[in-house]
Amino acid sequence: MRQVLAVGLFVAVSVVPSFALAAAIDASLVPDGTYVVKVEKVEDAQHVLVMMDNGVETTLVATGGIDFSKVKANDSVKVSLVKGKVPVFRVQ
C-alpha cells in the first residue's frame, strides 16, 4: 500500500510543474506593448492561440478591421497588444 501511495505521489509531483509551464493566461493580463509570438493554433478569423517568448500561452483577439485568416500554425507574428486586444499585427 505504501509503495502504491509513494508512486502516486511521485507521479503527481512530476506532472504538476508541466501544467504550470503550459498555463494559458488571459491576454488582458499581458502588459500593453509589442511582442513577437509563435502561433500555435488559429481558432477562427478573430482568435489565435499563441506562445509568448516567456513560455506563456494566451488567446489573442483581433479588433477593428483586422483578422487572423492569413496566419498559420508555427508562424512568427509581431503583435501590438492594447488592453488585451490586437489592433495591428505583422507576420514575420
Does some domain include residue 34?
A: yes
Mean pLDDT of the 79-90 span? 95
pLDDT in tens, 31-46: 999 999 999 999 999 9
Does some domain include residue 15?
A: no
**pLDDT at position 23:** 73
Which residues form the domain of 57? 24-91
pLDDT tier at 21 (50, 70, 90 boundaries)? low
**pLDDT at position 24:** 86
Buried b (16+ CB within 10 A) or exposed e, 14-50: eeeeeeeeeeeeebeebeeeebebebeebeeeebbbb
Structural domains in the chain (count): 1
pLDDT in tens, 56-83: 999 999 998 899 999 999 999 999 999 9
Does some domain include residue 29?
A: yes
pLDDT over 90 at 14, yes or no: no
